[in-house]
Amino acid sequence: MANALEYKDVAFSYGEGGFRMEHLNFSVAEGELVAVLGHNGSGKSTLARLANGLLTPDGGEISVFGTVLREKNLFDIRKQVGIVFQNPDSQAVASIVEDDVAFGAENVGLPRKEIGERIGYALRAVGMEEYRTATISRLSGGQKQRVAIAGVLALRPKIMILDEATAMLDPRGRREIAEVVKQLNEREGITVLLITHFMEEALLCSRAVVMNRGEIVMEDAPANIFRRGEELLTYQLALPRIGEIANRLRAGGMNVADALDVDTLAEEIAKCVS
């Protein structure tokens, strides 16, 4: 079966000098939840924007469920690949929640009754059905992002890309979004590409890739990626704090095994000191 998303030898640049993507090869199977990591400027957002034709590659091919993305099928592809961006305040197009969620569905010319049903479905899926007639500007950041996700969901996409969608949220908002994303992947079977700087979010995924200079340079189970500290540093990524503490303990002679969660590390330490 064809992959949900496939980049074949994709080249892209924003013009002379600066960022360049030369031979990007990357694929995502249907139903996967993949984390994309990388320092700012490594090409994560470019990867996202290429997936639904917001950017056009200079070379190579991008295909969505086996269909190669071309100018003439752009609108069909966009119905299948939705993107949620970083800023909760710049994605809303309407002032009332349901109008905003309806915007995409209206744009592709769905019948009115169907739009109503899809708004209901989308808001339920993100846990915002009580806010159907609420004013967006009065919502919290996490709620605004959930509305943005609902707007994408109303188009019933098969693939969803979150481009640092939690970067501007407080810790509570981040947890809300992580929860919603996990559910969409598990219950609705949506293939998700989660672009993030947060280890906790990457650990929810089944696979993680690290980008650097427009290339995929690491690919592994998220927990394994975060254990490869030396390598992460060469790609201008930091070792997660918990890994750093474990490293420092080892450097001081305490032989703790690597751990990415507090309880496991505490267990390791307890074994050594008592």
Partner 1 sequence: MRIVAEHLSYTYNAGTPFAAKALDDVSLTIEEGEFFGVIGQTGSGKSTFVQHLNGLLRTPSSLKRGKKKDGTVLTVGGFDLTDRKTDFRALRRQVGMVFQYPENQLFAETVFSDVAFGYKNFAEKKPEAGEVERAVRDAISVVGLDYERVKDMSPFELSGGQKRRAAIAGVIVTKPEILVLDEPAAGLDPLGKREVMALLHKLKESWCKTVVIVSHDMDEVAENCTRVAVFSEGKVQYVLPPAELFRRTEELLRLGLDIPLTAKLVRALGQRGVTVDCDFTAEDLVRKLLALGGDQC
Query: Facing residues of 162 across strands?
Result: 84, 194
Q: Is 116 exposed, middle or buried (0-12, 13-18, 19+ CB in 10 A)?
A: middle
Nearest residue (CB) to partner 1, 124 versus 271: 271
- Residue 156, CA distances (Å) to 79, 92, 206 in order: 7, 18, 22
Exposure of 104 in the CB half-sphere (CA atoms within 13 A): 27
Task: Output the smallest distance, CB 264 to partner 1, in A.
Answer: 9
**Which is nearer to partner 1, 96 or 168 (by Cβ)?**
168
Q: How far is the CB of 93 from partner 1 (least distance, A)?
A: 20
Nearer to partner 1, 188 or 258 (CB): 258
Instruction: Pull the structure tokens for residue 39.
Output: 């320092």
In the complex, what is the shortest distance from the CB of residue 22 to partner 1, in angstroms, rounded to a whole number? Answer: 20
Q: How far apart are alpha carbons 99 and 163 in whole angstroms?
A: 23
Nearer to partner 1, 30 or 231 (CB): 231
Q: In the complex with partner 1, which residue's Cβ is closer, 104 or 173?
A: 173
The torsion of the CA quartet 245, 246, 250, 252, rounded to 10 degrees, works out to 20
Least separation in angstroms between CB 160 and partner 1? 21
Smallest gap, in angstroms, from Cβ of residue 168 to partner 1?
6
Positions touching partner 1 (CB under 8 A) are 38-41, 86, 140-141, 164, 167-168, 170-173, 197, 236-238, 241-242, 244-245, 248-249, 252-256, 262-263, 265-267, 269-274
